[in-house]
Structure 1
């Protein structure tokens, strides 16, 4: 009995000695910042970017008419619904598993992402006049998309490693759908959604480093074949969707100079949202599972 208790007490210390390196998380945060800056520079500061963005927003009206008012109303609820789901899941995990620190850092990251979005939106200048018929008011990043993505990221941070691959895919899909819904309802342009995803990714990467280092006792990887939520199929499916969306966006981009449908730029915008959304999903899954996988082999 004493030996077993001693083993339990020594376990966390042994895991804590193998803390994950900080540089992958810092690098991920810097890449996210670069993505945010690139979204602003191309879609706001260039004529081509403005035209693509505004065309997608205009064509979204056609899609909105086709799917009907009821479907659009359901899409309206997605960002707020994601917040309720995230709070309930975090509350359950915190009370059931006593992951107080992880829950705290996840909520701080969620709040920081949403606050940053509002500050960036207020601080960035209006869209410059580059000859494109568009509203000058800056709408980047999307607050609705930030809310949905940050809620999904908060759940991703608090669940144990065996649940993270599935949680990342489900949460990433939810954020992608919520982002597309803001486009369909003509609340935001595609670039607004992309910028929101990068803002959330920045704070998630920083919070992930703290979560991984303050919860070594439960950040333990059992193996991809030990639980259905740990399956390699989750990141593989996200990567496949990102690749397919990227290929479709590339083909649409090549065809827009010729005869196109009335929704070409809208579909291009959807493809961009899916590429970034699912691409970040894969990156986040690898970022938080690879360190515990290496540690479990030691």
Structure 2
């Protein structure tokens, strides 16, 4: 039985509900602050551009990265949606199926609306169209959130491990390809986390308190970083730029791992 927190009028508010509300609010505030910094300030724009340019790839690696990104498409969204429906409906959990579909649709649609309609890059600093948040990263991160809501509890650590790997590979690849800045990747993951948390709020079930995700997610993200290095991703300025490139990829991987571990935490058992 869930422990509960007493409300202001004597009602008992489930702690799981409070946790999800705090995560959702914190995610929204973080997203807005990040968007303002990297889109509206000169320092943010220049820092973001410098971070993107700190990592490079040779021609063969660049082609490999582009081929990987080619798998992230509408078809992959449909495939994940079908998997979620099968996983939930076969167990009689129609609400979980709806929640997973809400995450997939809501995250991807909101990312496109935010990027192309709502958010604008301030002119006069870095002359480039707005790319915040990343659509490719949203597709993968939202898929992870949907699967965490749909999968039975024993499979969720595997979803976390594979999801952290796939999201890090996708997000970092968009940076290496020059499609997106690191902030675009972080923004996309925040969008997916927000929708996953909102869907979990609607389900109103207890959260998954297993702590394994906090150990598994960093492993998946780190493995993606190793693969990127193996296939040829390098610092832009040789060993003199190693620290900058390592910090950029490390921060992106750490944010992704933390976000996916939080998705697991808020997901309903």
Shift of 1:259: 9.5
Q: Return the structure number with greater strand share.
A: 2
Distance between the aligned counterparts of 2:221 and 2:87, measured in 1? 30
> Could you say if the C-alpha distance between residues 26 and 103 of structure 1 is closer, same or farther in structure 2, counting changes exceeding 3 Å?
same
CA contact (8 A) 1:149 1:171 kept: yes
> 2:189 aligns to what?
197
Distance between the aligned counterparts of 1:187 and 1:273, measured in 2? 15
Distance between the aligned counterparts of 2:74 and 2:123, measured in 1? 32
Q: Return the structure number with greater helix share.
A: 1
Match of 1:97 among 91, 101, 106: 91
Give me the TM-score of the superposition, normalised by structure 2: 0.77
Aligned pairs for 1:35-74 (under 5 A) are 35-60=30-55, 62-65=56-59, 67-74=61-68
The one-character-per-residue Cα deviations of 1:61-99 (angstroms, maximum 9, x if unpaired) are x32536142443123324556425412321321342122
Q: SS of 2:57's equivalent?
A: helix
The number of residue pairs the alignment matches comes to 246
> Could you say if the C-alpha distance between residues 286 and 21 of structure 1 is closer, same or farther in structure 2, counting changes exceeding 3 Å?
closer
Q: SS of 2:180's equivalent?
A: coil
Distance between the aligned counterparts of 2:137 and 2:144, measured in 1? 11
> Could you say if the C-alpha distance between residues 171 and 81 of structure 1 is closer, same or farther in structure 2, counting changes exceeding 3 Å?
farther
Q: Which runs of 5+ in 1 are unaligned?
A: 1-17, 225-231, 246-255, 293-298
> 1:252 aligns to what?
none
CA contact (8 A) 1:242 1:279 kept: no
> 1:278 aligns to what?
257
Distance between the aligned counterparts of 2:109 and 2:192, measured in 1? 11
The one-character-per-residue Cα deviations of 1:124-165 (angstroms, maximum 9, x if unpaired) are 1223323xxx33321111111111111111111111233223
**After TM superposition, which residue ranges in structure 1, 4 or more long, deviate above 6 angstroms?**
240-245
Distance between the aligned counterparts of 1:266 and 1:259, measured in 2? 10
Distance between the aligned counterparts of 1:178 and 1:276, measured in 2? 14
> 2:267 aligns to what?
288
> 1:296 aligns to what?
none
CA contact (8 A) 2:214 2:258 kept: no
Match of 2:147 among 125, 144, 155: 155
Aligned pairs for 1:202-221 (under 5 A) are 202-213=194-205
> 1:124 aligns to what?
119
The one-character-per-residue Cα deviations of 1:175-219 (angstroms, maximum 9, x if unpaired) are 221111211222111111111111111111110122243xx7xx8
Match of 2:169 among 150, 173, 177: 177
> 2:6 aligns to what?
none
